């Protein structure tokens, strides 16, 4: 079997400018020497993120629902958040996000998968962790904005995977995380 692998590629960057500075991330424009010519690309310059597939002793996964303005929907997601603290270890950020979004802690943590969310338009890489040995956090977290009315649901992992494959659950990070966790736990 051939083992496919993404390959690093470093074309010459002729120029790189922030063309829009946002509150959370920026839009960058790069001029790049490519082949015999030059291309210009604009993209979201993203800090990166983490997500958590929290699975309880009954093999149920915790899903959260919150409003996402770009898609005008309250979609189902995994607890997740930005790597917006300079130098923060992604595992530490995952622990923080599980506590902030779900008021949970976990004793078992495993890296599950890392994925680029939309490499044609942004530089975001998300690190997804499997969390087990769940218990309530010592103190509930005060939530604001879209997180103020987060809805939580515990769903059997196989049903969440079925929802992804049936097109009912379309969040890409949820899809990658749930399908990876189901495969990872299949033999366990």
Burial class (CB in 10 A: 0-12, 13-18, 19+), 5: exposed
- CB contact at 8 A, 182 and 158: yes
Give the model's pLDDT for residue 144.
62
Catalytic residue among 77, 146, 147, 182: 147
pTM value is: 0.91
Contact partners, residue 77, CB within 8 Å, separation at least 6: 51, 63, 64, 65, 66, 171, 173, 174
| CATH code of the domain in which 73 resides | 3.90.79.10
110 included as an active-site residue: no
For residue 92, being part of any structural domain is answered with yes
Give the model's pLDDT for residue 2.
85
Regarding whether 79 and 150 lie in a shared domain, the answer is yes
Q: What's the domain range around 60?
A: 49-186
Tally of structural domains, the chain:
2
Q: Which residues of the chain have pLDDT under 70?
A: 141-148, 188
Regarding whether 134 and 82 lie in a shared domain, the answer is yes
How are beta strands 49-54 and 80-82 bridged, if at all? antiparallel
Helices (H), 38-156: 90-102
**Dist CA 15 CA 30 (whole Å):** 6
Give the model's pLDDT for residue 148.
64
Please give the distance of CA 30 from its chain centroid, rounded to a whole number.
25
Regarding whether 127 and 64 lie in a shared domain, the answer is yes
Regarding whether 97 and 17 lie in a shared domain, the answer is no
For residue 72, being part of any structural domain is answered with yes
């Amino acid at each position: 079997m051939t083992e496919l692998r993404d390959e690093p590629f470093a074309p010459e960057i002729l120029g790189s400018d922030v063309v829009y500075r946002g509150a959370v991330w920026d839009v960058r424009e790069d001029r790049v020497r490519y082949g015999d010519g030059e291309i210009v690309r604009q993209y979201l310059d993203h800090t990166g993120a983490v997500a958590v597939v929290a699975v309880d002793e009954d093999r149920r996964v915790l899903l959260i629902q919150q409003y996402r303005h770009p898609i005008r929907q309250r979609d189902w997601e995994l607890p997740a958040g930005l790597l917006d603290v300079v130098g923060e270890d992604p595992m530490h950020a995952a622990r923080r996000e599980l506590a902030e979004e779900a008021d949970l802690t976990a004793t078992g943590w495993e890296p599950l998968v890392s994925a680029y969310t939309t490499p044609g338009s942004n530089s975001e890489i998300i690190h997804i962790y499997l969390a087990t040995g769940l218990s309530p956090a010592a103190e509930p977290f005060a939530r604001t904005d879209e997180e103020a009315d987060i809805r939580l649901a515990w769903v059997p992992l196989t049903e969440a995977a079925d929802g992804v494959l049936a097109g009912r659950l379309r969040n890409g990070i949820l899809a990658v995380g749930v399908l990876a966790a189901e495969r990872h736990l299949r033999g366990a």
